[in-house]
Every structure is written in C-alpha cells, then in structure tokens.
Amino acid sequence: MHEVLRLRLQRRLPRCPYPRPMPHLSSLWMRLRYNLRPFPLRKMNTMSDTKIVTRFAPSPTGTLHIGSARTALFNWLFARRHGGQFLLRIEDTDKERSTEASTQAIYRGLTWLGLDFDGVPVSQAANAARHAEVAKEMLAGGHAYKCFATQEEIAAFREAAQAEKRSTLFRSPWRDVAEADHPDAPYVVRLKALREGQTIIMDQVQGDVVIRNEQLDDMVLLRSDGSPVYMLAVVVDDHDMGVTHVIRGDDHLNNAARQIQIYRAMDWELPTYAHIPLIHGPDGKKMSKRHGATGVEEYQALGYSAAGMRNYLARLGWSHGDDEFFTDSQAQSWFDLEHIGKSPARFDFKKLANISGQHIARTDDAALLHELERYLAAISADPLSETQKSLFLDGAYCIKEHAKNMTELSDKASFMFQSRPLELEEKAVQALDTVSIGILNELTPQLQNAKWTRVVLEGLVERLALSHDRKMGKLAAPLRAALSGRVTSPSVFDMMLVLGRDETIARLNDIS
Ligand code: GLU
C-alpha cells in the first residue's frame, strides 16, 4: 500500500494532509547550537526552497479580537509573500468555553478582512486521538511517564515546598519508577522534561530567549481520562500540518519553551518562532474595551474599509521604512519578520481612520459599492435598491474622496439614497427662506431645457445669483438644502449631475 495512504488509514496523518516541509535553517541551527538530539542528515534548506506554512490558531471562545486578527494578518502576509500556505486551525479543545457562535465569528471576521486560508480548517478537538497517540509514543520512547500522584499529594508537595521556600514546581516521585512497580490506579501522562541546561527559543522577533530547564515542570500531556492537554495538541497539530513558522502573540512565549521539549522528544523539526508583542491602547496599556472597539466585527460595523484595516493592522507593529499607506500587493511583497517591532504597538484610532479613508478614495466604484453593501448588511440596515445602486455608481466619484469610513460614505451618499419628499434637517429648513425659494422657483423652468452638463448648470446658477445680487454661495445653500435636505453635501452641481434632470426638478418643486 502507498505509504501516505497507509499512514492516513492508521490516522497517523491528519485528515487533511499538508505536505511536510523540509527542515529549515533555524531549526537545524538550533539543534547544532543547543546540542539537541542528533538529527538525520538531510539537505540544508534556506527560506527560498522551503515551502512556508503558517497557521492561525484561534480558540473559539469569544469575538475575534483585533490582536488576533493582526496575528492572522501577519501569518497570511508571510505565507503569501513566500508563496506558501496559510492554514486555519480552530483550537476547540476547551469544550466548556468553545462555542460554535465564536467559530462562526472567526470565519466572518477573516472573510471580512479578506484573509483567505488554504485548505479546510482543522478542528483541534477532532485530532484528540492523534494527540493521545503521540503521548503514548513519548511514553514508549521514555520521554514521558505515568504519574499516579493524586491532587492531594500534589497540593501537599506544594505546601511543603512553600513552607521550605523551595520551588513549588511539582517534582513527581513517579518520574523514574519502573512499569512493574506501577499501581493499578488512575494516572496522568507527564513529559519527562529536561532538568539541566537551558532551552533557547530563537525567536525572530524577541531574539534568543533563554529559559533554564529547571524552571520547567514535567507538564501533563494526557489527563487521567486520557484526554490530551492543549500544549501537546498545539505541537502535534503544528507538526502534522507541516507548519514551518509559528507567528503568534508573545503571551505564548513561555509556552514555546515547553512545547520545544515535545518537539525534542519526538525528534521533530522545530518551527521558526516569531512572538509578536500585544497591541496596546493609545495610553500604553493593554488594548481593552476601555479604549474602544476590540472585536473585528465592531470595526466592520464602525465602517472601516477592510483594505484600510489590513493596511493599518499590518503597520501596527511592523514597518516598511516610513510607508504608512500601502496596497495589499505591496504589503505582500514587503512583509518580513525582521521588521516586526519588539515593543507593543499603540493603537491610533486617528491613523486608522486616515488610512481607511485613503483606501476608500482609491477603491474602484464597483468594489466600493460591494463593500458598502456588506457594511449595510453588517449593521442590519436596509439593502440598497437597484436604483440606489446605480445612482451610487454614478455618484461615487464625488463622495469617496472625503469619507473615512463606510458610515461617512453612506452619509455622504444620502442625497442619492433618499426618496422624495426629502426629510429636511433643521438647518436646511432655515436655509430655505421665502426669498431663496422664490429665486429657486425661477431656476426650475430654466433647467427644463438646459443641456445637462456641469458648465451649463454652473452658468445658469451663476447668472441667476448675479441677477439677484447674491453671491453664488448664497444661492448654493438653499439649492443644497432642496437637493439633499442637508446643509453639507457634495457640490450642488455634482448632485444635479448625479440625480439627473427629472429628479432635480422634482426636488426643487417639492420645496416651492
Ligand atoms: N489558541 C491560542 C490562542 O488563541 C493560540 C495558540 C498558538 O498560536 O499556538 O491564543
């Protein structure tokens, strides 16, 4: 039987087998430098001939946090930059806290942000049997042991350690007990962690992080009910999915030291690590609700453009010279791990708004309409009618330069979206005094036969203003009020051109 098929039948390969990467430079280097177990000699690979595989591994326990979205973005950019794969793994091992609603929110958030993943998403919980199998392999290889210590014994150990001012890391008495002396009692499987020397995480962002092995305990791999712990699951899944680069929040840095021990025990190639600093609020404290929106979907509902969000989040903690505004293709050709900052980036709402606005201005009209429709759906607003859509396509040119987000864009487009008779805002009512209405009444018949071009319309309005000894602006205010129901709007001539003759005249008649 074909080897891959055989392994898959034995469930030794994940359901969705990704190509295994060749070892890459950093892990080989790490083995050499830190005197890890010998590895089979294979061809040395550099980044250029290694298939890059990154992953985003969210726990579905709430909304998709803006920090997680940035982690996903960095992984996506890095994979796309190197023509590699960007995989999604839902870390749903914590059955109490994982919810389907949260998984769906993750999909929606990634979809809105345009972070397309390769292959099918992997469910970590579905791989539990494989995780347990690896723990058993570690047992068989002497890298793990059965620990029969009860909760009470562990608590007593800690108490005594505390009283004697020793380290409270649990040192199991079962670490070296032979199988023949094991009782017939429930047990957990623990990692036989290295106690001497040090583990060095060669992190692409944090540099070399040294952890003394004596600081690490023999962590539990399998609980007494045989279920795997998260720390084991992550390593097994990353290995099986062929992940070459683990790019994640630096709150996982300590986990890396322990996870490396599992790689070592299994004689697996280490991935390259890049632990990125958290996002802070403008005041330098960990980003939280106090600062404003923290969930990706909240940002969508606030109307930021997805391209702007990608650009801003990429720039948040990573830099490419002084470039603030860039396109997706620029980001994909520039992104690297070297230029990720070591200290937490501060979220700057003004900058986000500015970048979002620049992207809106540069988005082509059809794509902008699509994004606006998605935004309206996200905030449960009425969908646009065909007429509104076609008016938007005609008029996008005169509003998109000045909108920082979709909320502003739809507000500026309101002259296209409203139906007659318009609801006039208070100030618009004031602008439409009797004298002004009288003047506008003179304009209406002139519009009937005018050529509908900007030059002609400007000429008509200018002459009318002159004949009443008014400045053009003075006439523009009531005209604007009649056409938009507002005192601020795009230029009156743009509105007339977009609305067309019949609608313009009808709106003027409505206020006469
Ligand atoms: N599931 C973890 C989290 O949501 C990520 C684990 C990892 O990236 O290794 O924080």
Distance (Å) from CA 145 to ligand 1 centroid: 26
Give yes or no: residues 492 and 434 share one domain.
yes
Q: What are phi and psi of 146, to 5 degrees?
A: -85, 130
Q: Which two tokens stand for residue 391?
A: 């008016």
Residues 295 and 393 in one domain: yes
| Residue, of 112 and 14, whose pLDDT is higher | 112
303 CA from centroid of ligand 1 (Å): 28
The 10s digit of each residue's pLDDT in 123-167 is 999 999 999 999 999 999 999 999 999 999 999 999 999 999 999
- Shared domain for 308 and 396, answered yes or no, is yes
pLDDT at 371 over 90: yes
Residue 342's pLDDT band (cuts 50, 70, 90): very high
CA 507 to mean position of chain CA atoms: 45
| Number of domains observed in the structure of the chain | 2
- Cα separation, 62 vs 415, in Å, equals 39
91 C-beta closer than 6 A to ligand 1: yes
Among the atoms of ligand 1, which is closest to the Cα of residue 251?
10
In a domain, 297, yes or no: yes
User: What would the pLDDT profile of 435-454 be if each residue is shown by its tens digit?
Assistant: 999 999 999 999 999 999 99
Q: Are 230 and 94 in contact (CB under 8 A)?
A: yes
Whether the Cβ atoms of residue 273 and residue 267 lie closer than 8 Å to each other: no
Is 495 part of any domain?
Answer: yes
Q: Say how many C-beta atoms besides its own lie within 10 A of residue 303's C-beta.
A: 24
Q: Ligand 1 pocket: which of 59, 92, 244 to mutate (most atoms <8 Å of CB)?
A: 59
Mutate to test the pocket of ligand 1, among 74, 236, 248, 255 (most ligand atoms within 8 A of CB): 248
CA-nearest residue for atom 6, ligand 1, is 57
In a domain, 357, yes or no: yes
3 state DSSP class of 91 = coil
252 lines ligand 1 (CB under 6 A): yes
- Evaluate whether 146 touches 174 at the Cβ level (below 8 Å): yes
DSSP 2-63: -HHHHHHHTT-S-SSPPPPPPP-HHHHHHHHHTT-S---------GGGS--EEEE----SSS
CATH code of the domain in which 360 resides:
3.40.50.620
- d(Cα 223, Cα 262) in Å, to the nearest integer? 16
Q: Within a domain: residue 447?
A: yes
Q: Is residue 83 part of a domain?
A: no
Atom of ligand 1 nearest to the CA of 55: 8
Q: Rounded to an integer, what distance in angstroms lies between the CA atom of residue 128 and that of residue 136?
A: 12
- Choose one of 414, 449, 478: the last residue of a domain: 414
Q: What is the CA radius of gyration of the chain?
A: 31
Does residue 356 or residue 14 have the better pLDDT? 356
Say if 51 falls within a structural domain: no
| Cα of 120 from ligand 1 centre, angstroms | 18
Q: Mean pLDDT of all residues in the chain? A: 91
- At residue 79, the pLDDT reads 98
274 pairs with which residues across the strands?
247
Asked if residue 234 has pLDDT above 50, the reply is: yes
Answer whether residue 6 shows pLDDT above 50.
no
Confidence of residue 47 (pLDDT cuts 50, 70, 90): low
For residues 223-230, average pLDDT: 96
pLDDT tens, residue by residue, 422-433: 999 999 999 999
Could you tell me if 313 and 414 are in contact, meaning their C-beta atoms sit under 8 angstroms apart? no
Kindly give the number of the ligand 1 atom that is closest to the alpha carbon of 238.
9
Question: Which CATH number fits the domain that encloses residue 475?
Answer: 1.10.10.350
What pLDDT, in 10s, does the model give residues 278-303?
999 999 998 888 998 899 999 999 99
| Domain co-membership, 338 together with 442 | no
**CA 58 / ligand 1 centre spacing (Å):** 5
| Same domain, yes or no: 392 and 458 | no
Residue of the CA atom closest to atom 4 of ligand 1: 58
Q: How many CA atoms lie within 13 A of 299 on its CB side?
A: 30
Of 362, 394, 414, the position where a domain reaches its end is 414
Residues 386 and 455 grouped into a single domain: no
Same-domain check for residues 403 and 428: no
Same domain, 382 and 451: no
Q: Are residues 319 and 394 in the same domain?
A: yes
Task: Look up residue 366 and give its two tokens.
Answer: 């059809």
Q: Which of 43, 95, 136, 289 is catalytic?
A: 289
| pLDDT at residue 413 greater than cutoff 90 | yes
Residues 353-369: what's their mean pLDDT?
98
428 and 377 in a common domain: no
In short, whether 234's Cβ falls inside 6 Å of ligand 1 is: yes
Which tens digit of pLDDT belongs to each residue from 49-102?
579 999 999 999 999 999 999 999 999 999 999 999 999 999 999 989 999 999
Could you list the residue range(s) of the whole structural domain that residue 468 is in? Answer: 418-510
CA atoms of 168 and 155, how far apart (whole Å): 10
Q: Say how many Å lie between the CA of residue 259 and the centre of ligand 1.
A: 12
* Ligand 1 atom with least separation from CA of 61: 4
Q: pTM score, two decimals?
A: 0.87
With a cut of 80, say whether residue 112 has pLDDT above it: yes
Q: In the predicted model, what is the mean pLDDT of residues 403-411? A: 97
Residue with tokens 């709402």: 349
State the Cα–Cα distance between residues 235 and 240, nearest whole angstrom: 8
Q: Within this chain, do residues 303 and 390 fall inside the same structural domain, yes or no?
A: yes
The mean pLDDT value for 200-212 works out to 97
In a domain, 502, yes or no: yes
Please report whether residue 455 resides in a domain: yes
Q: Last residue of a domain, which of 414, 438, 468? A: 414
The yes-or-no answer on residue 136 being catalytic is: no
Res 33 pLDDT > 80: no
* In a shared domain, residues 368 and 424: no
Ligand 1, pocket-test mutation among 127, 252, 260, 263, most atoms within 8 A of CB: 252
What is the pLDDT, as a whole number, of residue 426? Answer: 97
Contact status, residue 55 vs residue 243, Cβ threshold 8 Å:
yes
- Mean pLDDT confidence for 176-195: 97
Q: Is the model's pLDDT at 343 over the cut of 90? A: yes
If you write DSSP's letter for every residue of 243-292 in order, what string do you get? Answer: --EEEEEGGGHHHHHHHHHHHHHHTPPPPEEEEEPPEE-TTSSBP-GGGS
In contact, 273 and 246? CB cutoff 8 Å: yes
